[in-house]
Structure 1
Amino acid sequence: MSDRTGRREKDRPAGAPTIAGDLAPAGAPAGAPAGAPAGAPAGAPAFAGDFAGDLAADAGLLARHAADTERMLALLAPRPDRTDAEAERAERLHEGCRASRHAFLARHAEAVYDVLTAGRTRRPRLTDLAAGAAVRFPGLVPDAAQLAEERGRLQAHKEGREIDQGIFFGALLRSPAAGTHLIESMLRPAPGSAARLAEFRRADRLELPAVLLERRGEAAHVTFRNGHCLNAEDNRLIADLETAVDVALLDDRVRVGVLRGGPVTHPRHAGKRIFSAGINLKELRSGAISFVEFLLGRELGYVNKMARGLLRDDPAAGGTATAGKPWVGVVDSFAIGGGMQLLLVMDRVIAEEGAFLSLPAADEGIVPGLGNLRLTRLTGARTARQIILSGRRIHTGDPAAALLVDEVLPAAALDGAAERAVRDLAGPAVAANRHMLTLAEEPIDLLRTYLAEFAVVQARRIHSPDVLAKTERHWARSERVPS
């Protein structure tokens, strides 16, 4: 077997790490969450404990273990060129190191978070938090070079570094102290949003690459403009949506937000308005869907801001204040996947006659965001399982549609219905009451606990063989048949 420079195993210098026999079966480390992988390598770190003084020593053990793992991985061919035996060895190496990360974070998650946030006096966003962890705790999460290398690869050709990010964020969110602080940090306006607010105030219009924001009276209209892909979500749309939602929430002239899909250029539906086709599977297949910025960032970012509002410093209130506003969703044609997930945080949903809603999690193979958390309380357990586990579509003519949609109207009547909804929801008591509804329906600890598990499960799902195969088949069909 050759390494990346073409040398054979027998030509390795004396003392170089070997691959065969590096791993020995073992149980999952003590303290690892349920479902943490077994198979830790022989000689895996024996972490000292959970006392503050143990953090530096245990971090050093993890760093050395991760470095040893990387040296052994470097002896293998790149992932697409590996033999079956090499692929199995690589998987065992990764899983052994991931088991050690689980064990380290089970002991030190809060201490790590306190180091990265200066005792919770700073509020880094997800990307900055992960970047800081890579520098301060080598081997805990992928570093900048590893991420850059992964970024240029197809999803099926990646090493799966984002799984390590999922382990990291899952552990932080599992901690009541660190997790709550992180959720609150992500409810702050994103960098740059305040500057865009000034632009919006001048023109009552903000044009972003994938989103249009317009003010009409007391309403801020947020329109998806990702028309080439049926308003599917990708990294660009997620970033633009967070900016638009921030600006709508920051502008005190706005009382209600309206979310709608714009006309698409996709050949099959050219000129039609479509709400959203969910995650862009072509982008997922190409490796362009980010776990941190997209899959985790959307849930902690703009979606949670629509549900809960912004947190802003308010000295008069003795701390922070929530600036939440009601939202209206207007569904043209269909709301699939992430599009349907957005409707679960809307205060009023208006849909076109003949439209449908779906969460095709079983088909795509990934977890539909917070759909599993939020759908059941709207539809009940049986219907939620039919939608998520069996791919049932809810058409506007179905009796079950009344559980998810407030009004079903001809396309020509949607604009008028949206205006009426804005008037209904613009009252001064609406924001306070929706805030109390959210506290009752989705307490912050419930959200945090769900997200802790979601981070780990979703990171693994996007690298699982069934998802990779499905995205490849989807791409192949789209290349053969005109869209």
Structure 2
Amino acid sequence: MTPVLPEREQAAVLWPSLTEAAEHVEKLTVSLPKPGQRSPEQRAEAAAAKDAARALRVQFLDAHVDAVYDQLTEDRSVSLRLAELVEAAAIAFPGLVPSDWQLASERSRPQADKEGHEIDQGIFLRAVLRSAVAGPHLLDAMLRPTPRALRLLPEFRRTGVVEMEAVRLERRDGAARLTMCRDDCLNAEDDQQVDDMETAVDLALLDPAVRVGLLRGGEMSHPRYRGKRVFSAGINLKNLSSGNISLVDFLLRRELGYIHKLVRGVLVDDPGRWHSPRVEKPWVAAVDGFAIGGGTQLLLVFDHVLAASDAYFSLPAAKEGIIPGVANFRFSRYAGPRLARQVILGGRRIWATEPDARLLADEIVEPHELDATIERALMRLDGDAVLANRRMLNLAEEPVDAFRAYMAEFALQQALRLYGEDVIDKVGRFGARPV
């Protein structure tokens, strides 16, 4: 099928070649053993076919991404979230991104036996986010409240409590208290956690009775930390090894969804909000135990960070082999380029008692003092002047277009990392460990 594009002549040249290359890849990979069982020659043959198709995808999108996006979103009159956008693209432009059945066939496979179809999603989303026309529209689509949050909002406004699998949300004294409660896995992050976190952030931002938000880890049932609070162990590497960490629903939704909402707020359709279409609120984070990987990434968007004196921070990107979210974009702003490289490239762990910890946390207190310190921090951030000034700070420190440019490249580079041989080998060894 030739796509309906304004540049019909150009599309007529590129599109048949792309669809032919995509069909060749599909026929070839179906005829071969699973990726983890292929000979070196078979792996080289499959890689060459995929590279040829991907080069054509890049050429096509470089020329037509705005027309493609406008067709999918009815000239940007419809807001499609990431998952909806790639699904719509798979239907309207077969071969441009993986189909639903291709992705479904991969979900049951461990990471080592996947074909890497998500790399093609990364190529598509990089092109969309790079575009000065399509990119801002997609960012806005991801800042809108989720349907799940809108369904739960009346109940939350009435009761002040919502219990989810990975997050508990409670409103008390004007503060939305988000507690990460994956007690068995040290709050390790996965697709479910991202969904629950975005729902909780939306609810906190949409509830007019909430003036400030708090994020903290709950008490653990994990044998090593039973009864103790833990902030976050970062990405769930066992889930990554088993193939249950997705590019779109976890790695990209996490950054463009709830974490970006912590920075920019939630986008609402309210004519009365002529002064700002987004509902924003200040946020406090409190670290018990440790903030590993994604846990430390989160701290970089909070307005005030507290940590117990026995806690530590780390971004073990080199060990895991993947990119630590938007930390490469934000960490230097807090800690400077030298420390950023020590932590991200060298795997340095920073203990709360070290002087450098004050670059990541505003207050370091004894564990038994953390509860009282949290309440004081929430009171200090509860004010209209705080809200206006945080908005201007975020605008100056993290311009939207700079963030968009980073996320465009991240979409592809993280997809490539997911299927890197070193990553598959590392997470495979981790996944083989006993619980």
Q: Shorter-chain TM-score: what band?
A: over 0.9
Equivalences for residues 155-166 of structure 1 within 5 A: 155-166=111-122
The structure showing larger relative contact order (alpha-carbon pairs under 8 Å, at least 6 residues apart) is 2
Q: Find 1:403's aligned residue among 329, 349, 359.
A: 359
Q: Find 1:220's aligned residue among 160, 176, 190.
A: 176
Q: TM-score, normalised by structure 1?
A: 0.87
SS in 2 for 1:366: coil
- How many correspondences in the alignment? 432
Equivalences for residues 12-51 of structure 1 within 5 A: 51=7
Aligned-pair RMSD on alpha carbons? Answer: 1.6
Q: Find 2:162's aligned residue among 180, 183, 206.
A: 206
Q: Deviations over 1:134-193 (max 9, x none)?
A: 000010110011000000000010000111111110111111111111011100001121
1:60 to partner: Cα distance: 4.0
Q: Deviations over 1:305-329 (max 9, x none)?
A: 0011011123245596111111100
Q: Find 2:329's aligned residue among 373, 377, 402.
A: 373
Establish whether residue 385 from structure 1 lines up as the match of residue 341 from structure 2: yes
SS in 1 for 2:170: strand
Relative to structure 1, the CA distance from residue 361 to residue 290 in structure 2 (aligned partners, 3 Å threshold; closer, same or farther) is: same
Residue 327 of structure 1 corresponds to: 283
Within 1, Cα distance between the matches of 2:75 and 2:9?
A: 16
Residue 153 of structure 1 corresponds to: 109
Equivalences for residues 281-300 of structure 1 within 5 A: 281-300=237-256
SS in 1 for 2:277: strand
1:59 to partner: Cα distance: 3.3
Q: Find 2:68's aligned residue among 98, 112, 133.
A: 112
Within 2, Cα distance between the matches of 1:400 and 1:53?
A: 58
1:76 to partner: Cα distance: 1.7
Establish whether residue 238 from structure 1 lines up as the match of residue 202 from structure 2: no
Within 2, Cα distance between the matches of 1:81 and 1:372?
A: 35
Query: Structure 1 stretches of 5 or more lacking a match?
Result: 1-46
Within 1, Cα distance between the matches of 2:77 and 2:219?
A: 44
Q: TM-score, normalised by structure 2?
A: 0.96
Q: Find 2:99's aligned residue among 128, 131, 143.
A: 143
Relative to structure 1, the CA distance from residue 411 to residue 118 in structure 2 (aligned partners, 3 Å threshold; closer, same or farther) is: same
Query: Is contact 2:17–2:56 with CA below 8 Å preserved after alignment?
Result: no
Query: Is contact 1:73–1:93 with CA below 8 Å preserved after alignment?
Result: no
Query: Is contact 1:98–1:164 with CA below 8 Å preserved after alignment?
Result: yes
Q: What code does the residue aligned with 1:463 have?
A: Y
Residue 77 of structure 1 corresponds to: 33
Establish whether residue 91 from structure 1 lines up as the match of residue 91 from structure 2: no
Q: Deviations over 1:413-436 (max 9, x none)?
A: 111111111110001111111111
Within 2, Cα distance between the matches of 1:50 and 1:413?
A: 63
1:266 to partner: Cα distance: 1.1
Within 1, Cα distance between the matches of 2:41 and 2:282?
A: 55
Relative to structure 1, the CA distance from residue 192 to residue 56 in structure 2 (aligned partners, 3 Å threshold; closer, same or farther) is: farther
SS in 1 for 2:348: coil
Residue 280 of structure 1 corresponds to: 236
Residue 56 of structure 2 corresponds to: 100
Query: Is contact 1:334–1:355 with CA below 8 Å preserved after alignment?
Result: yes
SS in 1 for 2:376: helix
Query: Is contact 1:187–1:310 with CA below 8 Å preserved after alignment?
Result: yes
Relative to structure 1, the CA distance from residue 150 to residue 415 in structure 2 (aligned partners, 3 Å threshold; closer, same or farther) is: same
Query: Is contact 2:35–2:115 with CA below 8 Å preserved after alignment?
Result: yes
Percent identity over paired residues: 51
Query: Is contact 2:310–2:367 with CA below 8 Å preserved after alignment?
Result: no
1:208 to partner: Cα distance: 0.6
Equivalences for residues 48-63 of structure 1 within 5 A: 51=7, 54-55=10-11, 58-63=14-19
Within 1, Cα distance between the matches of 2:275 and 2:25?
A: 45
1:355 to partner: Cα distance: 0.5
Larger Cα Rg: Structure 1 or Structure 2?
Answer: 1
Query: Structure 2 stretches of 5 or more lacking a match?
Result: none
Equivalences for residues 411-430 of structure 1 within 5 A: 411-430=367-386
Relative to structure 1, the CA distance from residue 320 to residue 426 in structure 2 (aligned partners, 3 Å threshold; closer, same or farther) is: closer
Residue 472 of structure 1 corresponds to: 428
